[in-house]
Amino acid sequence: MVGGGHNGLVAAFDLARAGLSTVVLERRPFVGGACVTEEFAPGFRASSGAYVLSMLRRSIWHDMRLVQRGIVVDPAGPTLNVYPDGGHLWLDDDVDRTVDEIKRFSPADATAFPRFEADLARIAGAVVPVFERTPPTVAPRSLRELGELAGYARLALTHRKALLDAAYVFTSPMTRYLDEYFVSPHVAAAVGWHAINDSVSGPSSPGTAYVLLHDHASEDAGGGVRQWGFVRGGIGRVTEMMADAVRDAGGEIRTDAEVGAIVTRRDVATGVRLASGEELEAPIVVSNADPKRTFLGLCADAPLPPDFVARIEAYRCEGTSIKINLALSELPTVAGQPRGSGPQPYHYGIMEVSPFLPDLDLQQADARAGVPADPAHIEICFPTVHDPSLAPEGKHIATIDVNSQPYSLRDGDWDAIGEDRADRAIAQLEQHFPGLGGMIEHRQVLTPLDLERRLGLTGGHALHGEMSAEQLFVLRPVRGWGRYRTPIRGLYLCGAGTHPGGGVTGANGRNAAREIVRDAKRSRRRG
């Protein structure tokens, strides 16, 4: 297993349980990939990648015994959206409270919101079961593959009323979809800013409405469909406990073991070569790395088909966000509230400093041209209100995402401008949190280039590639290779660059492991 991210750990667990001798090779001193908690200043710990948990599949919670291993997720509070015109809007998991809030902007939108939620939940009910299935082959060559296709046909019949709406969501611009429900720009911005997350597309780009389904695709250990929250001890606790589950299942985990190359003989994987020069032989190699890193880097010397290489090269995988972690002397409060007044509802959720959707289109257009947005859409949260152990007593951390910050810059480079971009983002936040700058004791700035270097994410893309229609389902990562297998026999993919894409789901790893075990059993029968 190349890489110890959460999908790699899930796959390793399933493979070890199936009786395969399994070794996870992680280049960093600890497992986790983009799900890690690290000390970024003395006594202050935060995530350098993902920082909330919502979509991890219930079967993985159960099989890896994560609750029994001590994983506790504190539900997040409501989301506070603040706008350039001084307005603000709360979104709450309690639909009735959200409806009352929306009435301040538009009674018609307040009436439409429950319908909007119900429609998305219905579509998600048709889409989410697909997460845990291997994408079908359009030309089945065996009874098993024919059975898979028949399974999708049965699923389609079960959810036939939602299929047309699902197709519309997967292909429509966010703005067009929201126009069917809302007239208030404040409401549209509050529910539609997700369109630009980990993407260079703007909310008016086709296919961006799909990201709305992610809010309705979550499962928590207790079974809620919209529950998401903060892991006590940081999200890295999840991958730490997953690693324990792998070891308990008989798997081995090696850290500080960077894979330099996947070794092949003709078109067959035979093992890996570590950066240290050590070689490990194996009939099966599984890459948890993104597709570009796997095929253009680790398999640079392999005899890959030219058309496949061209498709991987064209695969869109450019990150667009800066991650900032702040070590704070105290908890900042929004303008108009007394300093030191203690945790407020917005501290328990995520606060969105959000332009309106037309502004996001302009910012994303600039990002595609290599120009970082300033001002930008910014997310900020305060994990220490849920878990004070992440900071010294009485102190706090803030985790910030600054969007529309392209990996590829038109002018300059991220090493030269990263700190300045962070200064500007913090100045933007200080308009809403007076005195924020003076509370900062330390900070960690991770540009898209830093995320690539630190976490091994090509282009700094947290989802291992754009979640656009042409890079989803049977087309992820590229057409013809959407079933976790690769042109190199014995080499498989299990990371977020496979179906069902990004997010802390674990489904990619579980699906890949299922296919690997099937192939291994078939190979034994032939032998």
Whether 1 is in a domain gets the answer no
Say yes or no: 327 and 446 in one domain.
yes
Say yes or no: 215 and 254 in one domain.
no
Say yes or no: 383 and 500 in one domain.
no
**What pTM, to 2 d.p., does this model score?**
0.94
From 226, 247, 271, the end of a domain falls on 226
**pLDDT recorded at residue 217:** 65
Q: What is the pLDDT of residues 408-449, one digit of tens each?
A: 999 999 999 999 999 999 999 999 999 999 999 999 999 999
DSSP conformation letters of 462-507: TTSS---GGGSGGGSSSTT--SSB-SSBTEEE-STTSTT-SSS--H
**pLDDT for residue 80 is more than 50:** yes
Q: 119: which 2 tokens? A: 């429609």
Q: How many domains does the chain divide into?
A: 3
Say yes or no: 451 and 326 in one domain.
yes
Whether 47 is in a domain gets the answer yes
Say yes or no: 442 and 483 in one domain.
no
From 424, 455, 486, the end of a domain falls on 455
Q: Which of 135-149, 390-404, 485-499 has the lowest mean pLDDT?
A: 135-149
d(CA 350, CA 383): 10
Say yes or no: 255 and 276 in one domain.
yes
Whether 152 is in a domain gets the answer yes
Say yes or no: 423 and 466 in one domain.
no
Whether 88 is in a domain gets the answer no
Say yes or no: 177 and 297 in one domain.
no
**pLDDT recorded at residue 220:** 44
Whether 90 is in a domain gets the answer no
**pLDDT for residue 222 is more than 60:** no
- Exposed, middle or buried, 482 (CB in 10 Å: 0-12/13-18/19+)? buried
Say yes or no: 302 and 328 in one domain.
no
**pLDDT for residue 522 is more than 90:** no
DSSP conformation letters of 101-140: HHTTT-HHHHHHHHHHHHHHHHHHHHHHHHHTSPPPPSS-
**pLDDT recorded at residue 321:** 95
Whether 91 is in a domain gets the answer no
Say yes or no: 243 and 305 in one domain.
yes
Whether 93 is in a domain gets the answer no
Q: What is the CATH number of the domain that holds 496?
A: 3.50.50.60
Quote the domain boundaries for residue 433: 322-455
Whether 54 is in a domain gets the answer yes
Say yes or no: 428 and 345 in one domain.
yes
From 200, 226, 252, the end of a domain falls on 226
